[in-house]
Structure 1
Amino acid sequence: MRLLFTSVSVIAAAVSAAAAEWKNWEGGVVAHPVALVTPTSEDEIVQIVNAVSTQNLTLKLVGAGHSWSPIAAPDGGGALMSLDSYNSVVSVDREKMQITVQGGMRLYELNEILDEFGWALPQLGAVSVQSVAGATQTATHGTGRELGTISEAIVSLSLIAANGTVITASPEVNPELFAAARVGLGALGVVSTLTFQAVPKYYLERSLVVNYDVEELLEKVPALYEQFPRMQFVVQPFRQLSGMVIAYTEIDEAVVQNIRRCRPEEEEEEEEVQKVLNGTAGEAEEEDDPMELAAEALAQELARNLTLERRAERRKEWAVLSDTRISRVYRSTCADASFKAMSSARAGSSKFTEMELFFPVEKSLDAFKEFIQRIWSLSDLHRNYVRVQVMMRYVSADPVSYMSPEYERTTGVISLIVSGTRAGPGDLREFQLWSAVLQSIGEKYGARFHWGKKYIISPYTKFYLSLVYPKLDEFLQIREDMDPKGIFLNQHLKEMFLL
């Protein structure tokens, strides 16, 4: 962004200024807002909203831009608001373990602050570079069959409506607005402050099994789901021995001292996991002697000086994966405070493009298998130099948030990831092919979109959304009440909801 407008008095002049360029993190979404405004206080946000409304502009909010969809992109005649300078702690309630922060605070900043109090968020996604407002407006999640999205930790929030009014919403105050705004898609107003319910600090060990036969792995998923509360798995459909299972096990702090810590500077760990994802680890291990690999894995485990009791626990935990395929390799990659084990404060240097659909959990494995079979049946269309990954995670039901993909149902989340480069997003042709296949399967099973990731919009979209989101009409009515002029809309939202 070349133009920074930090004062509301320049908005009018900015309308005639040369358009600046804004891109999301992977470069696949590009916009040319007439202005970028960066308020430092709630009063300034109110002034900006009033000025935008008076001038009949539109206004979109952006945090880290870590979305693949254009949900936060301003239209050509609209302004863009960054809350990066509105990112402080507002209050802390030690008795209730609640913290109120401004919307521009990044998740990694919130994690560090909570850690100082001996607290943590119950759930996090793979990265924590997003703003707290942006991450929660799109229902960012991690994995855990009994864990919800980050939005579910919100117990109260304040919104600035299109008329400049500051409105508080919680289960007790404006409960219907609260149900709509916890996952508000940026369509209801400016999320000014958020109050999060924390939990006591806890520790996780991150473990993985690599080099798994894809079909064999899929047969073991039901047992894995029951065995591990926090579990996900990844396959590369064009590589038979590409299955990888990742599990997060809660452990005592004393045990953490005997396992390598999840430090951001450990590039070696990141490279090891990436080798698994891109298939190079599988190639190397297939060429080596399986017995040597097994012996090496055991030696690495013993070298960590874990207690005999802990080693026995580990063997029992992973017994569900044991069989005659010795070439499989188990690794305990690290253990640390939950936010360090689950999430990275860096977006990563290599870009990729992603679609993510949320299936009813009881249908998710069938949908995953069908997707893999459809990919295999069309494998002649695949470009061998493009890396394609398919991942499954799990998220529990959200009983409150109208537009959460988990609203009133526990989900299995299928992600399609087409890897790109440091310079740009994943191969467009490859992504369009497999995303069309996944979305067709998703519609068959009643899946819901991830609002911050890629999905295909058509004139049929609103009708489909009305089938899978039972509170869609209520949400759209609240949106109309909060923003009758549509200043918080963009073309993407208008097309999706036929507004």
Structure 2
Amino acid sequence: MLRPNRRIWSTWSGTAGCLPAQLAAPTSEDEIAEAVRAAVRNGLNVRTAGTGHSFNRLVTTPGALLDLTSYKGVVAVDRVAGEVTVRAGTRIGELCRVLDRDGLALANIGTLADQTIAGALSTGNHGTGLAHPPLSGQVARLRLLTADGNVLTVGPDDDPDLWGGVRTALGTLGVLTTVTLRCVPQFNLRHRVDSAPLQELLERFGAWAGESEHPSLNWQPWTDRVTLRSIDRTDAPSTPRASARRLAATLDEVRCGFTGQVARVGGARTVPALTAGLGGLGPTSPYVDASHRVFTFPQPVRFLAMEHALPLERTADALRELRPALRRLGMHSPYSVLVRVGAGDDVLLSPAHGRATGYVNLTVPRTVGHLEILRIAEHILRGHDARPHWGKAHTATAEVLAPRYPRWKDFRRIRAVLDPEGTFSNEYTDKVLGPVDAADRR
């Protein structure tokens, strides 16, 4: 049951928080249903939270907040069908470890293992690789608990609009309770690092994006070179002490966090000199390990991140425009600009909907002075038909976003049918999607 709450809930980064009237931590689908019914009886809106890795007010509410992190665990692994069914609050890393023991893996995931499955799906989480859509592309079916307390099982053979809408819905259609994901046989990956002149890379950006199965690049805007990372399947065994190579990426995050703290005294203009003095600690020599351990690494340092999904063919032009703008600003983040790529999909609110995608991510320390970097970058990226990551920092509104999504009206119709009273809304969803409108049901 929901009880009066006196505890403040906050996101992982500490950039958003709330004091919900009622806070529940259900451990079963029945308890989730009862919590939703109780909130509706009390006239409270309902939001659901996982590990809180969104950087905005996606789940904050003065109403009822359901913390799903206790509703976790693998329900079933079907090795013959190549599927795994998992509860919504299960962390990606936990799922990958279970799959690994059964000789299976997810084909592609992002860098953060601590996110919950439901949270990652709801916000459009992705890895990198032109053959790989976001995580929602690996969903075989799922269960959705709606505002009336009933549960729908939704799959690709059901209403195509509902299937397209439910896999990335910002929690506005109901509560995801269990998710069945398609798996592949366990595999190893080889991680390699190289560097190139920025201008040369931009001139062949499209070709570079297809040279590796899982490519990414890091760029410090005050320099004219980029670090290129190539991750590809291999039959080679894991490298001895591969975990130490993976830890190097975590140490690099710690270095960035330390640089950001020092720069609070000397100013963000001192970041290039501080970075040069400390050097990079990321893995530089090739290594091989199990796929989920290469894709992810521990990220203990709190920060603020913004990411936009651009048409792949416009990504290089956006980076060309970012370079002089960030240099003129003269204020720098110790974190590199991260660029990844991905396949398009048919999910209605996916930032990758309908197009091959370039993802441009900017990360800054959690200080007011660094917000100007994000403001400048967002303005430039928006000019290249960018769609913001639903869980990261941005200032877009429904008026800005609607023209960027071809199936925007279809999603609004589905939302008006499944949640006509706006039970699963909050201030953020009203800002980015608009409030539920009965007229949309037509």
TM over 0.5: yes
- In the alignment, the residues of structure 2 paired with residue 103 and residue 437 of structure 1 have an alpha-carbon distance, to the nearest angstrom, of 36
- Could you say which structure has the larger radius of gyration? 1
Letter in 2 for 1:338: S
CA contact (8 A) 1:123 1:150 kept: yes
Letter in 1 for 2:392: K
CA contact (8 A) 1:244 1:276 kept: no
Offset of 1:269 from its aligned partner?
Answer: 5.6
1:187-208 CA-partner distances (Å, limit 9, x unpaired): 1000011010001111101111
Offset of 1:40 from its aligned partner?
Answer: 1.4
Say which of 375, 391, 404 aligns to 1:436. Answer: 375
Say whether 1:232 aligns with 2:183: no
SS at match of 2:52: coil
Say which of 295, 299, 307 aligns to 1:356. Answer: 307
SS at match of 1:404: coil
CA contact (8 A) 1:358 1:411 kept: yes
Relative to 1, partners in 2 of residues 1:466 and 1:285: Cα closer, same or farther, differing over 3 Å? closer
CA contact (8 A) 2:198 2:224 kept: yes
CA contact (8 A) 1:66 1:130 kept: yes
Q: Which residues in structure 2 correspond to 1:99-498 (within 5 Å)?
A: 99-209=84-194, 213-219=197-203, 221-240=205-224, 243-252=226-235, 255-257=236-238, 259-263=239-243, 267-268=247-248, 270-271=250-251, 283=277, 331-344=284-297, 346=298, 348-379=299-330, 382=331, 386-398=333-345, 400-418=346-364, 420=365, 425=366, 427-431=367-371, 433-457=372-396, 461-498=397-434
Offset of 1:35 from its aligned partner?
Answer: 2.2
Offset of 1:213 from its aligned partner?
Answer: 4.6
Flag as ranges the 4+ runs of structure 1 deviating above 3 A. Answer: 212-223, 264-270, 272-286
Structure 2 residue runs of 5 or longer lacking an equivalent are 260-271, 436-442
- In the alignment, the residues of structure 2 paired with residue 171 and residue 359 of structure 1 have an alpha-carbon distance, to the nearest angstrom, of 26
Range with greater deviation from structure 2 (269-278 or 150-159): 269-278
Offset of 1:330 from its aligned partner?
Answer: 9.3
TM-score, normalising length: structure 2: 0.88
CA contact (8 A) 1:354 1:454 kept: yes
Relative to 1, partners in 2 of residues 1:434 and 1:401: Cα closer, same or farther, differing over 3 Å? same
CA contact (8 A) 1:269 1:333 kept: no
In the alignment, which residue of structure 2 is the partner of 1:322? none
CA contact (8 A) 1:214 1:237 kept: no
TM-score, normalising length: structure 1: 0.79
Offset of 1:368 from its aligned partner?
Answer: 1.3
- In the alignment, the residues of structure 1 paired with residue 167 and residue 29 of structure 2 have an alpha-carbon distance, to the nearest angstrom, of 19
Say whether 1:69 aligns with 2:56: yes
Say which of 72, 87, 90 aligns to 2:75. Answer: 90
- In the alignment, the residues of structure 1 paired with residue 169 and residue 176 of structure 2 have an alpha-carbon distance, to the nearest angstrom, of 9
CA contact (8 A) 1:262 1:341 kept: no
SS at match of 1:137: helix
- In the alignment, the residues of structure 1 paired with residue 49 and residue 256 of structure 2 have an alpha-carbon distance, to the nearest angstrom, of 33
Relative to 1, partners in 2 of residues 1:498 and 1:223: Cα closer, same or farther, differing over 3 Å? closer
- In the alignment, the residues of structure 1 paired with residue 416 and residue 404 of structure 2 have an alpha-carbon distance, to the nearest angstrom, of 21
Paired residues, number: 420
- Over the matched positions of the two proteins, sequence identity in percent amounts to 29
CA contact (8 A) 2:245 2:287 kept: no
Offset of 1:50 from its aligned partner?
Answer: 0.8
Range with greater deviation from structure 2 (220-229 or 486-495): 220-229
Say whether 1:31 aligns with 2:18: yes
- In the alignment, the residues of structure 2 paired with residue 235 and residue 474 of structure 1 have an alpha-carbon distance, to the nearest angstrom, of 38
CA RMSD of aligned residues (A): 2.5
- In the alignment, the residues of structure 2 paired with residue 135 and residue 330 of structure 1 have an alpha-carbon distance, to the nearest angstrom, of 26
1:297-356 CA-partner distances (Å, limit 9, x unpaired): xxxxxxxxxxxxxxxxxxxxxxxxxxxxxxxx9933431111000112x3x222211110
Offset of 1:249 from its aligned partner?
Answer: 1.7
Relative to 1, partners in 2 of residues 1:262 and 1:428: Cα closer, same or farther, differing over 3 Å? farther
Relative to 1, partners in 2 of residues 1:269 and 1:44: Cα closer, same or farther, differing over 3 Å? closer
In the alignment, which residue of structure 2 is the partner of 1:44? 31
Range with greater deviation from structure 2 (438-447 or 109-118): 438-447
CA contact (8 A) 1:97 1:197 kept: yes
Offset of 1:369 from its aligned partner?
Answer: 1.3
Range with greater deviation from structure 2 (160-169 or 32-41): 32-41
Letter in 2 for 1:230: H
Offset of 1:38 from its aligned partner?
Answer: 1.1
SS at match of 1:438: helix
Relative to 1, partners in 2 of residues 1:396 and 1:217: Cα closer, same or farther, differing over 3 Å? same
- In the alignment, the residues of structure 1 paired with residue 240 and residue 207 of structure 2 have an alpha-carbon distance, to the nearest angstrom, of 28
Letter in 2 for 1:156: R
Range with greater deviation from structure 2 (151-160 or 268-277): 268-277
Structure 1 residue runs of 5 or longer lacking an equivalent are 1-7, 287-328
